[in-house]
Amino acid sequence: MVSLSPSLQARLATPLKIGQFEVNSRVLQSPLSGVTDLVFRRLVRRYAPDSMMYTEMVNATGLHYVQHLPKIMEIDPNERPISIQLFDCRPDFLAEAAQKAVAEGADTIDINMGCPVNKITKNGGGSSLLRQPEVAEAIVRSVVAAVPVPVTVKTRIGWSDKEINAIEFAQRMQDAGAQMLTLHGRTRAQGYNGPARWEWIAKVKSVLSIPVIANGDIFSVDAAVRCLEETGADGVMCSRGTLGYPFLVGEVDYFLKTGTLRQPPSPIERLECARDHLQMLWEYKGDRGIRQARKHMTWYAKGFTSASELRGQLAVIETLDQGLALIDAAIARLSSEGWQVEESASPQLISV
């Protein structure tokens, strides 16, 4: 049974201070490309109204050449606190992009220095900046000088096991003016495999004066509490644990604030959430939203008899009506027959 020690509760009782900006939650929803659009963030915020959320990462060079901002930068005027995440390797383009992000309403600007994807790293962005700390530093200085809001960095512990440089790198980011650092406890070489090495997060936390947010393998309230205890971090960021489970950030936040566990959603409540998600994606993005919804729908359909059959059907939906009919039929079946837990319904590793 997870419990909240008085010392941890006391340590986290105050707002998270990102420079001058205060957030009334120590749990953050991570940026997830292809996932954390305005619709998904709206669902997460239902259960975690105070938490910091991030857009999907936005290419700063791309922004330099377009007249209209891409849809992934769109922010709902009611959704605060919100950070826009940018990636690139050019300090000037990043500064310009950051100004556009602030004009759009971003409370903070986050720079992605952790993405492992080849397409990004071969152009000098994401985690390849771990190997170019002088460029990373120039980026932070340039963006800090360009915008009035706090600038933050999200990175990994190093490029590979032979090149773990999290401590020096984090110090350089702080010296350059970063106001918060989120550390994913894996190397670039690990991708998303193997356990996140929280011990490196603890080491980085011990040398920085800005807030450090721990990221990697936060799939439950229990994991969040253990991570906060083991690392001494100022907060935790939930990532893959939120796929098909926009309840997670709220569950952790509620526990850290009250010391009691919020009742997890039943399979029916999860399907009702999936239904809302599908409907909202269609309203926001039309047919493209339906194609994007397929993966989300399969992530939701979990934890009851015949879930795998439903997943197969939801993976190929073509229209809103088709998706709604499948979900409604499943809800009706579960309501009349009851449901048996056939597989774990809690958030778990989803291969992406």
The binding site for ligand FMN (CB under 6 A) comprises 30-35, 56-57, 85, 112, 114-115, 154, 184, 192, 196, 215-218, 239-241, 352
Nearer CB in complex with ligand FMN: 28/320: 28
- DSSP code of 50? T
Tokens 């769109």 appear where?
Answer: 74
Nearer CB in complex with ligand FMN: 31/303: 31
Q: How far is CA 123 from CA 90, 116, 128, 271, in A?
A: 10, 12, 9, 40
CA dist 306 and 301 (Å) reads 9
Nearer CB in complex with ligand FMN: 185/265: 185
List, by residue number, the catalytic residues: 115
Nearer CB in complex with ligand FMN: 85/121: 85
Dihedral through CA 16, CA 75, CA 294, CA 274, nearest 10?
60
Q: Please list the residues that pair with 113 across neighbouring strands.
A: 155
Smallest separation (angstroms) from ligand FMN to the CB of 230: 15
Smallest separation (angstroms) from ligand FMN to the CB of 94: 14
Smallest separation (angstroms) from ligand FMN to the CB of 19: 19
Q: Please list the residues that pair with 236 across neighbouring strands.
A: 27, 214
Tokens 């950051």 appear where?
Answer: 98
Q: What is the DSSP string of 108-174?
A: EEEEEE----HHHHTTT-GGGGGG-HHHHHHHHHHHHHH-SS-EEEEEEEESSGGGB-HHHHHHHHH
Nearest CA among 267, 248, 269, 169 for reference residue 212: 169
Sign of dihedral through CA atoms 310, 315, 316, 317?
Answer: positive
Nearer CB in complex with ligand FMN: 23/213: 213
Smallest separation (angstroms) from ligand FMN to the CB of 306: 27
Smallest separation (angstroms) from ligand FMN to the CB of 56: 5
